[in-house]
Amino acid sequence: MDNFELGDWFPMSPLIGPPLPKWMGLTWPWYKEEGPPPEGYTCPYCGANFTTYDELVSHIQSEHPGQRIPIDILWQ
């Protein structure tokens, strides 16, 4: 535990863990850190993975006719 910074002594957010210093690393059991977004595209109907959106669309049209094609919504 070398080189503590002032922010390490601030209490954790109540959504993440108990009001103890951040350096203790104690979080609520139900708290999960979000990882990086997955790369590629996954078929929502069978779980197959594709590197491009066009490949996913082609797959859905041929393997799952009549199903909706998923779209990405970017909220700002």
- Structure-block tokens of residue 19: 């009001």
Residue 46 and residue 56: Cα distance in Å, rounded? 11
- pTM here is 0.47
* 36-66 CATH: 3.30.160
Please determine, for residue 57, whether its predicted confidence score (pLDDT) is greater than 80: yes
Residue 72 and residue 44: Cα distance in Å, rounded? 13
| 7-16, 25-34, 41-50, 64-73: which is most confident | 41-50
- Residue 61: alpha-carbon gap to chain centroid: 27
